[in-house]
Amino acid sequence: MESKPSVSPSSFVDQQVFPGDVVLDLSKMTNQTIKLGGGLRQDGDVISVMKAGKLRFSKPNKYWVESSHKRYVPSAGDNVLGIVVDAKADNFLVDIKGPMLAFLPVLAFEGGTRRNIPKFEIGTLLYVRVVKANTGMNPELSCMDASGKAAEYGPLKDGFMFESSTGLSRTLLSTPTCPVLETLGKKLAFEIAVGLNGRVWVNATSPSVIVLVANTIMQTESLSPAQQKIKVENLLQRLQ
Amino acid sequence: MDLEREGGRGANQLRPIDCTRNVLSRAHGSASCSHGETRVLAAVYGPKAGTKKNENPEKACIEVIWKPKTGQIGKSEKEFEMILKRTLQNICLLTVHPNTTTSIIVQVVHDDGSLLPCAIHAACAALVDAGIPLKYLAVAICCCLTESGQIILDPSKLEEQRMKGFVCIAFPSSIQSVISQGSADVGGESVGNGVITSLTHGVMPVDDYFQCVEQGRAAIIPLSNILKKRLQSQPASKQSKAG
């Protein structure tokens, strides 16, 4: 095999990486602190990739791999939509599409005491915040924000919930507002809750609006922003 | 004496490989892989809570179900399940999600030789699609030994049946690295050492076996590149047919 002068690429940032790729050499970066997000792990003196996706870097020192999947990896601080699976004495067991069921303590509600424990039936949809998500332990949830207020968390009544990928949820929650939601919002009135775990809940006064919003979001997932606007306008005309 | 292969393939030439991700809408990860006429469909569900009884709860558990094209499940299916389970346990990072089970279901759509490598590629692509943390990808190749002592790669079913013996080997795929690893590098890519799985059928001398391993190893980089290119150029999930 003839040997070409091997030129290793200096950086893989913003490129597609696959499991096993080595992206950082720590022996050349002493005295620096690096924060690793999802999809990367430390393997001795190098940082290597665990999941396939695009490598991203944010100043000053955060690296992570961006990928879109149907399952969710719980991480603290995320707002997710969970479904109650069981009610125990101390906490509710909630499914958040992760590797394990999550616990929602019975007292994690604003003004919650042992006397006014909410009664959630199996199958109730909740908008909750992930408080703790450690490896090997069940994640812990809460229906209060960091300062103890209720702040929109809690059960979601009526409406329609559909599941999609985590990538779509991130697009819907991005700033500036995603083009699909902006175009839909100009013509229709609806309420939407997006969970980072790939669940989206839509509510409106008439069922046809709910169906239109849900179908539009699902169908425009893989289109570019310009194509999304065109497609949304087409679908809106059908409603008129 | 050179062996004449169907379709005028050279001894080291592989059949066209195709790999598609996200083919099943309900599975958490899925992929369909084909080597020429051989096609395999793989689906991944998980990670789900809980491990099986005799498995270590400090690690993730991998469960493989092999479904043949026709016939009942028998001993040969169990053998494939065991081989695939050991191979995938090697490439998965089992400590990231302890006490969980990941199920991989492999369905044989058509078998035209080189079935196990095709299944390994399909299972790997399905794991990547599902987002299961992996150490590296696996690439596998089937080498067989003819009567005349020649070694050919990627046999079809007819060729497999006429051979003295054949071996299926799985290697860790080539990786991109920011560190150059010396002479093993070719333009920024490096090839890991070692073999993940090796399965032989028939009889062959030891020297020929090592020759097969070397020839298979030489085919890793092009094979990895083809698979990575196929895995990468997949758009988001298919749009719903309603509306």
CATH number, domain of A129, equals 2.40.50.140
The share of chain B scoring above pLDDT 70, in percent, equals 88
Residue in chain B nearest A70 by alpha carbon = B28
| A73 found inside a domain | no
- Outline where chain B has alpha helix (H): 75-91, 115-130, 157-162, 206-218, 220-232
Domain boundary among A131, A155, A179: A155
| A109 found inside a domain | yes
pLDDT in tens, B217-240: 888 888 888 898 888 865 544 433
pLDDT at B180: 65
Chain B within 8 Å of A5 (Cβ-Cβ)?
no
pLDDT in tens, A173-228: 998 888 889 888 888 999 999 999 999 999 999 999 999 999 999 988 888 878 88
Stronger pLDDT, A235 or B41, i.e. the higher one: B41
- A25 and B99: CB-CB below 8 Å? no
Task: State the CATH number of the domain containing residue A46.
Answer: 2.40.50.100
- B176 and A7: CB-CB below 8 Å? no
Taking contacts as CB-CB distances below 8 angstroms, the residues of chain A near B180 are 6, 8
A101 with A121, same domain?
yes
A220 with A187, same domain?
yes
- List b or e across A112-138, with b for residues whose CB sees 16 or more CB atoms inside 10 angstroms: beeeeeeebeeebbbbbbbbbbeeeeb
pTM: 0.90
Q: Residue A169 sits in which domain range?
A: 160-238
ipTM of the complex in this document: 0.88
* Residue ranges per structural domain of chain B: 17-175+194-231
pLDDT in tens, A139-163: 999 999 888 888 899 999 999 999 9
Task: State the CATH number of the domain containing residue A216.
Answer: 3.30.1370.10
Domain boundary among A155, A172, A198: A155
Q: What share of chain A is helix, strand, coil (3-state, %, to 5)?
A: 20, 30, 50
Domain boundary among A139, A155, A171: A155
Closest CA to B92 of B150, B38, B52, B138: B138
Distance from CA of A73 to the nearest CA of B (A): 10
| A129 found inside a domain | yes
Total tally of structural domains belonging to chain A? 3
pLDDT in tens, B114-164: 899 999 999 999 999 999 999 999 999 999 888 888 888 888 888 888 888
| A19 found inside a domain | yes
Question: Which of A8, A17, A50 lies at the smallest CB-CB distance from B179?
Answer: A8
A172 with A140, same domain?
no
A53: left (phi over 0), alpha (psi -120 to 50) or beta: left
A167 with A220, same domain?
yes
Interface of B with A in 178-197 (CB under 8 A): 178-180, 183, 185-188, 192
| CATH topology (fold) of B17-175+194-231 | Ribosomal Protein S5; domain 2 (3.30.230)
A82 with A148, same domain?
yes
Chain B within 8 Å of A3 (Cβ-Cβ)?
yes
Chain A within 8 Å of B84 (Cβ-Cβ)?
no
pLDDT band of residue A122 (cuts 50, 70, 90) is very high
A49 with A95, same domain?
no
A192 with A143, same domain?
no
A122 with A178, same domain?
no
pLDDT at B174: 84
